[in-house]
Amino acid sequence: VRNISVALTTRQIRNQTKSVTRRCGWTFVQVGDLLQPIVKGQGLKHGETVEPVGAPIRVISVRREPLSRLRDEAGYGIDECRREGFGDHPDLMWPSSFVEYFAQTHNCDVDDEITRIAFEYTVPLTAAQMAFMQQHGPHLHRRAGEEFERERSDDPRLDWLKCNGCGEMTLVQAEQWYDRELSTGDATAALSHAFQQQIGRVSR
């Protein structure tokens, strides 16, 4: 599985609010490829390790197009900013801002051709985790960069996800467990079983 750096959109990948990414180059990617999102790809210092973000993603469509298409086709641009994970971002939800931001952060030109990659998550978040994040998202100080915190539970397959705004927690699949879950067919059943047990233990 090839690594893909998501340093600029770690939160969107973790929360699965992003389903499209744009890359300079990356012309080798094909539909069906599995990519492992990581925090940092290049420039690792000696002793630093690659930090995975969630489970691998699966490529469902690839095409080359000018970056400026977002800016030039109004409806398309707005949709794509949302798919890029910036639907709730005060600036980057707007195509003209996003295009400039992308060109700047990727050291390319607004008129350059880029590779647009649409993908799906191989391990979708559970409905429970989605509901928790929706309910508690407003409690976080997003402007200050506050995020949900993860703590290890006593089950290696599960982490506590904590809202620092109100202190409430819920159990979610541990990120360190994704690769092992993927390689076994009965992963979902095992996780679900562990989840139910943990919930039972906690609520008693």
| Token representation of residue 122 | 């191989």
131: enclosing H helix or E strand: helix 127-136
Query: Under a CB-based contact definition with an 8 Å cutoff, are residues 92 and 37 in contact?
Result: no
Instruction: Tell the smallest beta-carbon distance from residue 161 to Zn ion (Å).
Output: 11
The C-alpha atoms of residue 147 and residue 54 are separated, in whole angstroms, by: 15
Instruction: Name the amino acid, one letter, at 102.
Output: F
The answer to whether 134 touches 16, Cβ cutoff 8 Å, is: no
The span from the CA of 173 to the CA of 158, in Å, is: 5
Report, in Å, the least distance between residue 127 CB and Zn ion.
Answer: 18
The residue among 117 and 133 lying less far from Zn ion, judged by its C-beta, is 133
User: Does 125 participate in binding Zn ion (rule CB under 5 A)?
Assistant: no
- State which residue, 7 or 166, has the beta carbon closest to Zn ion: 166
Subset of residues 10 to 39 that bind Zn ion, contact rule: CB under 5 A: none
Residue 67 to residue 16: CA distance in whole angstroms: 23
Structure tokens at 8: 């600029």
Shortest Cβ distance from residue 162 to Zn ion (Å)?
A: 9
In the complex with Zn ion, the residue whose CB is nearer, 35 or 169, is 169
Closest approach of Zn ion to the CB of residue 121, in Å: 24
Q: Is 73 helix (H, G, I), strand (E, B) or coil?
A: coil
Q: Which of 22, 71, 136, 157 binds Zn ion (CB under 5 A)?
A: 136
Looking at 27-35, 43-51, 89-97, 139-147, which segment touches Zn ion (CB under 5 A)? 139-147
DSSP 8-state assignment for residue 45: P
Query: Of 92 and 133, which has the nearer Cβ to Zn ion?
Result: 133
Q: Give the count of residues interacting with Zn ion (CB under 5 A).
A: 5
Residues 152-181 that bind Zn ion (CB under 5 A): 163, 165-166
Beta carbon nearer to Zn ion, 87 or 165: 165
Residue type for 3, please? N
Contacts to Zn ion by CB under 5 A: 136, 139, 163, 165-166
